[in-house]
Structure 1
Amino acid sequence: MLKKIIINIKKYMKYSFKAAFVFLLIFVIFRVSFIYSAEPSPPQYPAGISDLTALTGVYEGDVILTWTAPGDDGSKADPPVSGYSIRYYEGQITRTGYNDYEKVKIYNSIWTDFVAGGSVETRVLTGLSEYCGRKLYFALKGYDEVPNYGIWNSSSDVGGLEINLYNSCIVKLIPPSPVNNLTVSAGYKNAILSWTSPGDDGNSGNIINGAIEIRCSPTNPITSETDWNSVSSGYPYRAVVSSSMIAGSLQRYTLTGLAIGSTYYFAIKIKDENESGWSNIDITIPKPVSSPINAPPVAFGLSSPANSIISATEKPSFSWENSTDPDNSGIYSYGLQISEYSNFSSFVQAPIGIAYSSYTLIEAIPDDKTYYWRAKAIDVDGGVTYSNESRILYVNTSNASPVNFSLTSPKNETVLKKPTFVWSASQDPDPPWTVKYTIYYSTYSDFASYQTITNLSTTTYTFISNLTENTTYYWKVAASDEYIVPSSIFSTEIYSFYVRPVLPAAPAGIKMTNNSITWDSVLLDEDGVSITDFSKYKIYRSSDIKILGTSGTFAEDTTQNSTLAISGYWTAIRAVDVYGNESANSMSINPDETKQIMISNTRDLIIEIPTEAQISLTGKIISISKSGNIYDIKPLNISNMNEIYNFEFSSPVKITFETNGDCVYWFNGIEYVALGGRIGNSITVQTKKLGRFYTGSIGSYKLKLVSSFPTKIFTPNGDGINDEINLTFSGITEESINAQIFDMSGKKVSDMTQRDFSWFLWDGKDSDGKVVLPGIYIYQVKNGKYTANGTVVVAR
């Protein structure tokens, strides 16, 4: 049974297969017949394209193709083709090479909406960035729905026919913009270039997998492609570096291997990812230029010997700090320079090639001389740095004492409590030729006990504290050299001097009440120090003001602060110390007069103070001093005896000078101005101001200053500019001429030098040849009976 079923199934399958095969065969036959019944016979192909034109696109990697469209069937307008087959290659594409896929590339498009045959078709090919800046050839075939393809003929296929002559173009390339701000800074055998990166396309977009090329020329600027191409080959003249850059970012590159001291001109180009995507030469103005430098060795100091040391050997040793090379090329050697001149214009010895930072002289240098020394470091490129100082060295192998000298003043004379000592200069016969002085002073002639003032470098000294009044002192000076063990010598004499007491201050605050004259107690000496030796007051009376204060006008002594006022008599009071020294006159008062009168102790100057001006003297006294023809009239504060500056009376006072001069001049701080002339035996002026007055001769105007060079102010500092003042006078006669300089106290400073008949100069030095202190000085030129006076200013 089972066997029968199987046999029946096999029979069924056999008949079913045959039926299916017959049906399929009938279907294929009829289908093929249907297909071929739709296509013309023979087949119609799209026409070949003969005017394909390739144009460079607008955007990078683009190409524009334009052509006359073929029809679906030959050149018929309708229907349009179903599509186009596109080929491109860097060489011409021939008919036979159209399908040479080993060379020719296929451009896959998704174009639609094709124009009818005979119309112009324009399409843009994109994505050709790989070929930016390069020339591509294009080939094109239309195809229909079968598809049947048209033919392609290049100009080379048809032998001279104008077919597809313009089927090639350069693929659109937008290179980076040229750099416009290239800068270069010099380094050690290198140059550091900086610039702002452009973009991938002009100034837009970042540059990925691009490059920079730097070229430098040691001969001329690189401003053109000709210059660019003329640059020597090889590094460092040409350097190409791969780089990715963010547009607008700051870029740097260090170009090494340059020669120190040479001048290089630089230019740069930037490339994007395209092989031909190079920018133009940078447009930096001015073109960057640089000269690589060698940084000299680092500054260093000297170690030994210390400055101004005395060497007892003629072959001293020297040492200094190590220097380093900031370029890390190393210190090649050191040098030592020894000179007799501080500017090292020549050398006594100058050893070089010293390997270490120390050196001992092999050859001796001469004894008893002053030397200047320094070291220098030299790097491997010849850069030199000198030590940051030079030092003095004295060579003195055997010492001699300073030479003899003598004292000048005070010499057995009377002085004030702060005397000035003066002595002649000693000299040191050995280096460093420096002498220091020590003053010894004592109240004992044998100096059993003494005090000293040490380390003086000048030959004068003024005490800054008071010595004991009414005491005799003895003094001498020792001169010492500055050798390793100093040697000293004393002055050839010992002098003495007597310190006289300082006068008491003049009584102040003079008043008259009823029949009594009163005054304030004198509490100070003239120097403003509290009086410790006050004794009494002396009263002077006279009906003649001009003789008041003479011995014949003495009236009485008193320890009180008052005395009688006697009609018809002027009264003046003086304070007296225990040594009998009398102060200057107080203000004189007369009960019959409203004015007060101040008369100098020498009675050659009288100041009349009217009632309305007397209030200005509250708490003050007037000090009168005279030197030659110069009077100093100063208001002093009675509380400390200090001068009161810029003082003025509330109303004018009358000042009378008993003098042989013809005119009174007042010093206004710059020069003397005439105030008044002689009337009878005296000169009287009225003024609200006190100060410095000079009495001279009107006849001096017959001797007149014509010119001054420089004008008034000169600077005797040795710089060769206005070191002296030159004065020229008119009115010079054949009579004797005396030209002198005085300070403002009237003390003679120096004689002027006469250059010719009317030309005199002063070099700003005193009679000892030392430059004077800055300030105002008086010149006085006397020629016969005539005198010319004026002022000059010494500045620094």
Structure 2
Amino acid sequence: MQIRQGLTIGFIAILIIIGWNGDASAAVTSSGEINVDGDSRGRVPASSNVILILTLGIDRSLAEPGEEIKTIETKLPVGFSVSVNDVRSVTRDGQSIAHKVLVPTGLLQIMLTKEVSDFSNSLYEIVFKSKTPSITNPRAEFKIRLINLKGRPIGEYIKPGNIDGEPNNDMLSLQIIPNVPPAPVKGLKIKVDTSGENDVLITWQPSQDGDVSGYFIYRDGKRITDQKNREIASFVDLNVLPGKHSYTMEVYKTSLLRSRPAAVVIVNVGLDTVNPTPPKALQIQDLGGIVNIIWQSSNTPDVEKYQISFGTSTDKLKPLTNGVIEAEPDKQDDYIFSLEQQLKVGKYVYAVEAVDEVGNRSTPITQVLRILGEPFPAVITPLSNNEKFNQVTFPIRTIEDAEGKFMVLIFDINGMLIKRIQPEDADQDNEKNLKWKGKNEDGEIVESGIYIYQVQVGESYKNGTLIVAK
């Protein structure tokens, strides 16, 4: 639906009704709020032709006999007027439903051709045109109720509440404000970024009119943003195409009650030549056949994608053909990319680069993944005389640049540490392999069962499980 500003002013209001406690006899429940498209504060200009959208969520899961819905009745605030031909549509869960419109004085009644008698929870929407009063009103209340087949109300009037979870008007009332446009913006300045980015900084003096909701900003005749805060006085237009561009802006009270546009300012935008900042907090998780690559966004706002590379060293990194991830604007949580890889024992390097809209690349952020050797065997019998089966061997990683202290920790299934194994222990014979013979710190053979090991080499570690069978 397209709404234009002419001699009369239109707006869209949204009334949402979902969960209300009526009188004791009403088992059909609902509550609601009314909002105005383009004005989260629930305000409309006086003496205007307006389009209202009533959206009702009705819970009939506990409906009783006599609570079949035949009519949806809206008691309009004083000064609002509606005609029979002003109703545009009536839908249930997005599907049109047959109805008849009645407009007794001060009321809008939607009489359904087929009463609602099922036990479903449904969303109803009624779109109609109305005229607002000529005088202002800080609180013009809409009263909504459901009527049954006998013409009797189903419970009391719907009560207000925060239904949509949005930071907007949570009341079943609107404020009628004077039909006077705000003054044009003052102090508008347009500056091109001088650091090499193709961005444009827009600043202005904030309006002192308390009825002002925000500012519309236009580039080359097209609206590029709705700045929905009167006190904000700046905006950065990112990734503007090189060349000449015109800017202007409007101050607005509602989406259709706007000031004259400010004088047009023309600027010349150059090429983007600045590399993005690198992404942050790179982590690598080896899940055995699946490697998770995790990182956080670059601080550069014009990043369009991230390129993941892989190799056995930093000088052998190669971009992954499936490792291009589209950037998400204003993303606060981590990016996670899962890669199917069966990695052998060794050292691997992962890198992530930020790439902007013209291909400028950040310095890659890198992380090393070291795959340690698997212990063997996975099942030991400590009471056996065969050394192949009465002890488990933990090999150190088989890569040339092994660094850090080599250690193995053994835990029981409850997470209690029962044995710490180090190369300097008396029962160990070399620094490349550590062995566990199924004994705890007191030298006693542990009970049969599942045990958890953690192999540590410097800051690298690997967890796994073993089985002890006496």
| TM exceeding 0.5 | no
From the two aligned structures, give the one with the greater helix fraction.
1
Task: Compute the TM-score of the two structures, normalised by the length of structure 2.
Answer: 0.31
From the two aligned structures, give the one with the greater strand fraction.
2
Task: Compute the TM-score of the two structures, normalised by the length of structure 1.
Answer: 0.21
Between 1 and 2, higher relative CO (CA 8 Å, sep ≥ 6) is seen in 2
